[in-house]
């Protein structure tokens, strides 16, 4: 669905953010985009949406070059930025003004989502909290039935019940013809929702693999003592949380935070497992 | 559906932009009406003052300056605010992600700044002016009573009638016709180009740019022709007016083109 | 449903389904929740649920009726027991054996421990 080839991008000439980055995303998945602050999570998402332009390389978003910003492409992309703006009008006025641009917009679905999110449709947008507004644009974005859903830190500003609502909604939003990309640094909010992990580091993608593939090759467990097979470990109350090769075909639960730290510190050691 | 221009989508866009732009615009209109109204109230000829000439014409000259000055302010402010939202990241993302083509978004800007703003300014000025003219004309007899030395007093004409009935005025009008659009195009470009303080920054850039241009022209003319030429070559007045028309129209069109390109290349 | 720390999510969900079948909350020939319903309820990626259902299908615990959904098989309870036994033999027993070996525990000792455990817990 999305093909990126040799992408080079940077805000200034001397500090490239991405160097020769190539990857593909396909429909039917929720991708979790992880990376340290400044690794370029938001920038990568903006590249996909055509909000910034690559220095070189090609991007193909379901057949469109995102930088051409064609309406036929834009109506298939739902972009939920971390910071957003909503005009000081009622929700139905907002809908009336914006929904007609999306020919697949589903009003019933929007109403359902608003109900799920506990937001009365007649409420004025100005009287809403940040979290409520965020829920409105998420509901609007999903109701456009876009093929590509891009979310930058969507759980920021949501309280605990809202996060639960959000996870339920996203679980139901994934269909076979949709591709969902979510950037987050709050991994624990989303770790059961993500099926493929993309880790950004040092101007490129350090890892792109499905949970299934990762747990096939690596195992995550608590150990009492360090041993040489452990590739990476973090001390815990009762020993260590460790990542090691999956010698015995164990089915362990992927600890995404541990994986993230492991990949960033021991990049070269993990490389052979994912090629 | 065309990816460049679709009338239906353009209509939707104009409607949507009204939600954002409309409020500022209407507010500016209200202020505009108030300002024009108070200027007229203050400067309108009254029987107490001595404001008519020996031909018996009432002095309404203040309205030309007012028309030009307010017109400049109004169209520059509206056009400088149109794309100002692109300076704010969260709003810019929404504007750029809206499924309409860049051309439609640009055409929307032209519709609001170059069409609607100009038309509404002319209309408002015309109506207020007409109202006051009617009012003064209906009280002409009071002028006569106050100043017995003028037995003969002419009625006042509305500004539009005055301009359109005079051949000289009409020539100037048609030659200077592109000038307001030039102002609009400059401030519209400024609103795309700068992220903050659009108006001030645009004004300053224009000042610096025109200062440099005039200085260069002055220097160049001295360099190439010295000071002896002007006496020999008498340029026709009509020709100058034609040049003013052509040059300002050309600059306007190219600024609009640049604005379109800037909009296409806008990144957030 | 609370997920535990160490077991793969899709297996924990399989356990969850098996539990429902053993407790007869979902009876033979009944429909189990669709992939989507399950994903929403557990706040989990639908692909994970799909993986669970594929596993349970392989184990003949549920079956897929095209276009209608997944159903509990007739012999699901037996299959669940078989499945759990196999899983115990393959995954939990080796860990146990390892400890038995490392700690030098004799089978006699184990046997008596096992018998008292059964007596205390199941023969009351």
Answer yes or no: do A38 and A147 share one domain. Answer: yes
Interface with B, mutate which of A71, A96, A130 (most B CBs under 10 A): A71
pLDDT (0 to 100) of residue A162: 94
**Model confidence pLDDT, tens digit, residues B56-86:** 678 888 899 999 999 999 999 999 989 988 9
CA distance A254 to A214: 8
Answer yes or no: do A191 and A223 share one domain. Answer: no
Nearest 10 degrees: Cα torsion C55, C59, C60, C64: 10
Answer yes or no: do C102 and C51 share one domain. Answer: no
Contact C9 A192 (CB under 8 A): yes
Q: What is the DSSP letter of A22?
A: E
Last residue of a domain, one of A140, A174, A201: A201
Task: For tokens 């799909």, name the residue.
Answer: C50
Q: Is the pLDDT of residue C3 over 80?
A: no
Answer yes or no: do C59 and C46 share one domain. Answer: yes
Answer yes or no: do A220 and A190 share one domain. Answer: no
Q: What is the DSSP letter of A254?
A: P
Q: How many domains does chain A have?
A: 2
Domain limits at C116? Answer: 78-122
Answer yes or no: do A250 and A156 share one domain. Answer: no
Chains interfacing with C (3 or more CB pairs < 8 Å): A
Start-to-end CA span in chain B (Å)? 27
pTM: 0.88
Answer yes or no: do A101 and A197 share one domain. Answer: yes
**Model confidence pLDDT, tens digit, residues B145-203:** 655 555 667 778 888 888 888 888 888 888 899 999 999 999 999 999 998 888 999 99
The answer to which of A49-58, B170-179, C45-54 has the lowest mean pLDDT is: B170-179
Answer yes or no: do A165 and A229 share one domain. Answer: no
Answer yes or no: do C25 and C65 share one domain. Answer: yes
Q: Is the dihedral of CA B144, B149, B153, B156 positive or negative?
A: negative
Please tell me which residue of chain C has the smallest CA distance to A27: C47
C20-28's contacts with Cβ under 8 Å and 24+ in sequence apart are C21/C61, C21/C72, C21/C76, C21/C77, C21/C80, C22/C77, C22/C80, C24/C77, C26/C72, C27/C72, C28/C72, C28/C73, C28/C74, C28/C75, C28/C76, C28/C77
The answer to which of B8-17, B134-143, C88-97 has the lowest mean pLDDT is: B134-143
Q: How many domains does chain C have?
A: 2
* Min Cα–Cα distance to chain B from A204, Å: 21
Last residue of a domain, one of A201, A225, A248: A201
pLDDT average, residue stretch A133-159? 95
Where helices occur in A35-104 by DSSP H, the ranges are 41-49, 71-74, 91-98
Answer yes or no: do A20 and A50 share one domain. Answer: yes
Please tell me which residue of chain A has the smallest CA distance to C47: A195
Task: For tokens 């075909």, name the residue.
Answer: A249
The answer to which of A187-191, B103-107, B127-131, C33-37 has the lowest mean pLDDT is: A187-191
pLDDT (0 to 100) of residue B250: 96
pLDDT (0 to 100) of residue B52: 66
B46 — pLDDT class (breaks 50, 70, 90): confident
B-chain residues near A81 (CB < 8 A): 89-90, 93
Please tell me which residue of chain C has the smallest CA distance to A256: C5
CA distance A152 to A57: 23
Answer yes or no: do C68 and C110 share one domain. Answer: no
Answer yes or no: do A118 and A174 share one domain. Answer: yes
What are the φ/ψ torsions at residue B132 (nearest 5 degrees)?
Answer: -70, -40
Chains interfacing with A (3 or more CB pairs < 8 Å): B, C
Contact A69 B102 (CB under 8 A): yes
**Cβ atoms A24, A209 nearer than 8 A:** no
Answer yes or no: do C85 and C70 share one domain. Answer: no
The closest alpha carbon to A181, from A11, A4, A6, A54, belongs to A4
Q: What is the CATH number of the domain that holds A69?
A: 3.40.50.300
pLDDT (0 to 100) of residue B51: 65
**Cβ atoms A99, A105 nearer than 8 A:** yes
Last residue of a domain, one of A201, A220, A236: A201
Is B12 part of the contact surface with chain A (CB cutoff 8 Å)? yes
**Model confidence pLDDT, tens digit, residues C51-70:** 999 999 999 999 998 888 99
Contact A70 B19 (CB under 8 A): no
Contact B97 A74 (CB under 8 A): yes
Is A71 part of the contact surface with chain B (CB cutoff 8 Å)? yes
Q: Evaluate whether residue C1 is within a structural domain.
A: no
Answer yes or no: do C71 and C82 share one domain. Answer: no
pLDDT (0 to 100) of residue A253: 92
Q: Evaluate whether residue C2 is within a structural domain.
A: no
CA distance C2 to C51: 19
Answer yes or no: do A16 and A138 share one domain. Answer: yes
Q: Evaluate whether residue C54 is within a structural domain.
A: yes
């Amino acid at each position: 669905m999305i093909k990126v080839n040799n992408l080079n991008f940077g805000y200034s000439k001397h500090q490239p953010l991405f160097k020769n980055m190539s990857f593909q995303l396909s429909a039917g998945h929720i991708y979790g985009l992880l990376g340290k602050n400044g690794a370029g999570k938001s920038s990568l998402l903006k590249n996909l949406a055509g909000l910034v332009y690559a220095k070189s390389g090609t991007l193909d978003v379901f057949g469109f070059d995102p930088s051409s910003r064609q309406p036929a492409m834009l109506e298939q992309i739902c972009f939920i930025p971390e910071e957003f703006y909503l005009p000081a009008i009622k929700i139905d006025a907002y809908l009336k003004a914006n929904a007609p641009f999306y020919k697949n917009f589903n009003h019933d679905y929007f109403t359902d989502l608003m109900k799920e999110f506990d937001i009365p449709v007649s409420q004025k947008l100005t009287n809403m909290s940040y979290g409520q507004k965020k829920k409105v644009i998420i509901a609007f974005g999903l109701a456009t039935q876009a093929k590509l859903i891009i979310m930058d830190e969507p759980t920021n500003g949501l309280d605990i019940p809202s996060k639960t609502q959000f996870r339920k909604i996203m679980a139901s939003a994934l269909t076979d013809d949709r591709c969902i990309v979510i950037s987050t640094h709050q991994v624990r909010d989303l770790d059961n929702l993500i099926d493929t992990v993309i880790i950004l580091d040092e101007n490129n993608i350090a890892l792109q693999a499905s949970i299934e593939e990762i747990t096939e090759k690596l195992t995550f467990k608590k150990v009492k003592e360090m041993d040489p097979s452990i590739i990476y470990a973090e001390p815990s109350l009762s020993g260590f949380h460790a990542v090691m090769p999956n010698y015995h075909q164990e089915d362990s639960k992927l600890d995404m935070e541990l994986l993230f730290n492991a990949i960033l510190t021991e990049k070269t050691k993990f490389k052979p497992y994912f090629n | 559906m065309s990816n460049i221009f679709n009338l239906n989508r353009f209509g939707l866009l104009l409607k949507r932009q009204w939600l954002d732009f409309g409020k500022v615009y209407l507010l500016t209109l209200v202020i505009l009406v108030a300002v024009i109204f108070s200027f007229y109230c203050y400067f309108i000829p009254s029987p107490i003052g001595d404001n008519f000439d020996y031909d018996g014409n009432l002095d309404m000259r203040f309205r030309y300056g007012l028309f030009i000055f307010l017109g400049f302010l109004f169209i520059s402010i509206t056009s400088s605010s149109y794309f100002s939202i692109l300076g704010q990241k969260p709003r810019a993302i929404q504007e750029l992600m809206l499924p309409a083509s860049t051309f439609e978004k640009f055409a929307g800007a032209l519709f609001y700044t170059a069409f609607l703003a100009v038309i509404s300014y002319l209309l408002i000025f015309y109506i207020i002016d007409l109202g006051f003219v009617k009012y003064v004309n209906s009280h002409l007899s009071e002028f006569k009573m106050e100043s017995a030395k003028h037995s003969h007093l002419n009625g006042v004409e509305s500004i539009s009638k005055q301009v359109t009935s005079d051949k000289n005025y009409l020539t100037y009008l048609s030659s200077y016709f592109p000038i307001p659009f030039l102002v609009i195009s400059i401030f519209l470009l400024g609103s795309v180009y700068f992220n903050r303080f659009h108006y001030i920054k645009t004004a300053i850039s224009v000042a610096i740019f025109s200062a440099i241009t005039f200085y260069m022209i002055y220097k160049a003319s001295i360099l190439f022709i010295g000071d002896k030429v002007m006496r020999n070559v008498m340029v026709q007045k009509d020709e100058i007016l034609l040049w003013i028309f052509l040059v300002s129209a050309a600059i306007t069109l190219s600024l609009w083109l640049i604005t379109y390109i800037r909009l296409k290349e806008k990144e957030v | 449903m609370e997920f535990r720390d160490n077991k793969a999510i899709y297996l924990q969900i399989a356990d969850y389904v098996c539990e429902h079948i053993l407790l007869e909350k979902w009876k033979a020939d009944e429909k189990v929740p669709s992939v989507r319903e399950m994903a929403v309820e557990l706040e989990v990626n639908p692909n994970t649920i799909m993986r669970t259902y594929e596993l349970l299908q392989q184990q003949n615990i549920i079956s897929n009726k095209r276009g209608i959904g997944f159903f509990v098989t007739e012999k699901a309870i037996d299959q669940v027991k078989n499945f759990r036994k196999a899983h115990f033999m393959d995954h939990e027993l080796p860990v146990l054996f390892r400890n038995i070996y490392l700690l030098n525990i004799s089978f006699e000792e184990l046997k008596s421990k096992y018998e008292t455990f059964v007596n205390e817990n199941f023969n009351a």
